[in-house]
A = this chain, B = another copy of it.
Amino acid sequence: MTDIKSPLPGGPKPAVNPLFLRDEELRQAIELLFFGYRDFTAEPDAILARYRFGRAHHRVIYFIGRHPGMTVSGLLHILRITKQILSRVLGQLIERGYVVQRQGTSDRRQRLLDLTEKGRGLEEQLSAEQRARIARAYREAGGEAVEGFRKVMLGIIGNEEDRARFDRPAGPARR
């Protein structure tokens, strides 16, 4: 697109947006993220409401499901919330039988967290909606677009540590 860098093959003067990253394009990106995230979270939120859970419960369930044996401090680090609010949300999930704790073996101060069967059921139900939405979007956009989406999203994620999660540990394994 927009051939900056390529010196315009003899045509009339460039006239193509000299800045390229113009305000309109950047604002559209802001809005894509806003509307996208709004819609991306709407369905799980509706399910959660039926359980009298909130979005925070979803995130906790999601990451424990993704990383069984996750510690409390691991969750705090990912979610960037305070231990007080995590403690409450986690306490509710444990009390209602979605999550279990066990003591760490090498460090017995740690509480290792796992989903119960019930927890895996809810996790599946919640993320199924999101996976279906992504799958549809990916399918319609095509493989090349998906690569572009990943690149841009990785660029938006600020720190290297978080980016490192996406080194395709079990990714599409293409090539």
List residues of A whose CB falls within 8 A of some B CB.
1-2, 4-5, 16-17, 20-40, 42, 59, 62, 66, 80, 127, 130-131, 133-159, 162, 165-166, 168-174
Contacts and interface: CB of A to CB of B under 8 A. Distances in A.
Contacts of A155: 136-138, 140-141
Contacts of A34: 59
A62 B2 CA distance: 28
Oligomeric state, in copies: 2
A123 to B, nearest CB: 11
B24 A170 contact: yes
Given A2-B143, A32-B157, A138 B152 contact: yes
B27 A153 contact: no
A157 B133 CA distance: 9
Contact of A134 (B1, B29, B66, B135): B29
Contacts of A62: 30
A150 B4 CA distance: 17
A151 B141 contact: yes
A147 B39 contact: no
Contacts of A171: 24-25, 28
Contact of A144 (B80, B134, B148, B173): B148
